[in-house]
Amino acid sequence: MRLKPTYIIKKVTDINLDELKADGITSLFFDLDNTLMPPRSGKLQYDIAQWLEVVKETFQIVVLSNNPHFDYMEKVAEELNCPVYAKARKPDTYIALKALKENNILPQETAMIGDRPLTDIWVGQRLKLITILVDPLMKHHESSIIKLLRKFERLFVTSAEKTFKC
């Protein structure tokens, strides 16, 4: 099995929002830990917080996280002021489909953004969403086992289908 994300970028703030809008995208599904926030922090980095304010002017945003800690996820929902789905079990599609339905979102108008190929990108591809693979925010501060796991996951990734215009 090979995964071919629509886009591969360094950080969420590198996403070309105008290009997504031109492609008919109206909603963005985000992974949480290491995509929007450093893991277990509950806080956005300043540049990402500023960028999300711009995003919310045009796009509906939803967070799909495999994080099972509902109390933490409630804190995140307050911080982000958007629907947050914990224990999503990605790449399983059940919670993602629930999020689409509950928020009246069409799959063909949605992009899935995350740092994990075998969870975030795979669930997006299973639902036929645009997929955007980002580098993890804290990749230089992860344990050796996580770094090894990430290298293994990248073996399943081929080059991106497209690149964003600058």
User: Per residue in 24-64, pLDDT tens?
Assistant: 999 999 999 999 999 888 889 999 999 999 999 999 999 99
Does residue 166 lie in a domain region?
Answer: no
Does residue 159 lie in a domain region?
Answer: no
Domain around 149: 7-154
Does residue 164 lie in a domain region?
Answer: no
- Whether the CB-CB separation of 122 and 134 falls below 8 Å is answered with no
- Whether the CB-CB separation of 63 and 82 falls below 8 Å is answered with yes
Q: How far apart are CA 79 and CA 44, in angstroms?
A: 8
Does residue 162 lie in a domain region?
Answer: no
Structure tokens at 51: 């960028």
Does residue 48 lie in a domain region?
Answer: yes
Does residue 163 lie in a domain region?
Answer: no
pTM: 0.88
Q: What is the tally of structural domains in the chain? A: 1
Residue 142 pLDDT class (50, 70, 90 cuts): low
pLDDT surpasses 80 at 69: yes
Span 96-137, pLDDT tens digits: 999 999 999 999 999 999 998 989 999 999 999 999 999 998
Does residue 1 lie in a domain region?
Answer: no
pLDDT at position 140: 53
Name the one residue in this structure whose structure tokens are 């031109």.
22
CATH number at residue 91: 3.40.50.1000
H/E element, 1: none
pLDDT at position 42: 86
pLDDT at position 137: 86
Does residue 146 lie in a domain region?
Answer: yes
pLDDT at position 41: 85
Q: How far apart are CA 38 and CA 41, in angstroms?
A: 6
Other CB atoms closer than 10 Å to residue 2's CB: what's the count? 8
